[in-house]
Copies of this chain bind each other. A is one copy, B any other.
Amino acid sequence: MTIRTPLLTVDIIIRGGSTAEIFLIRRKNPPPGWALPGGFVDVGETVEAAAVREAREETSLHVHLKTLLGVYSDPARDPRGHTVSVVFVADAVSGKPRADDDAGDIRAFRLDALPSTIAFDHRRILDDYRHRFLKPSPPTAQ
């Protein structure tokens, strides 16, 4: 009997210098839009190693993983099929950001100025990140 489970991926929230600025790549392949760097975990590879490898392959950045943000497994999160993503928060520690592999472009975005089209459930993931790591802005004086 062959056991089938959802495919396993990693995605990485890579911080540039500040907690409030993260890197997104513009996808060359469908579904279109900006997305977190990430990809499939290889058999024989830990999820942590996969996250460091995918960050390097897609952004040219060497990253240090800081924490696990969560595991995202809604069967509808990827229109191509059921994938489960282990999402890490990481700091870029060396390298110059350069779009590689599946990425058409790479840019640093402030969390309060994200692009309008974000693929998969990555906007929800970024919402979760913001709620966990960023203090709410002080109210504006009237």
Contact = CB atoms under 8 A, between A and B. Distances in A.
Query: How many copies make up the complex?
Result: 2
Contacts of A48: 73
Nearest to A47: B73
Interface stretch (A3-11, A56-64, A95-103): A3-11
11 contacts: A4-B43, A5-B7, A6-B41, A8-B84, A43-B82, A46-B74, A47-B71, A47-B84, A68-B70, A71-B86, A86-B86
Interface in A71-125: 71, 73-75, 82, 84, 86
Contacts of A44: 75, 82
Nearest to A41: B5
Contacts of A6: 8, 41, 43, 45
Contacts of A41: 5-6, 73, 84
A82 B44 CA distance: 6
Nearest to A81: B43
Contacts of A7: 3, 5
A9 B4 CA distance: 11
Contacts of A71: 47, 68, 71, 86
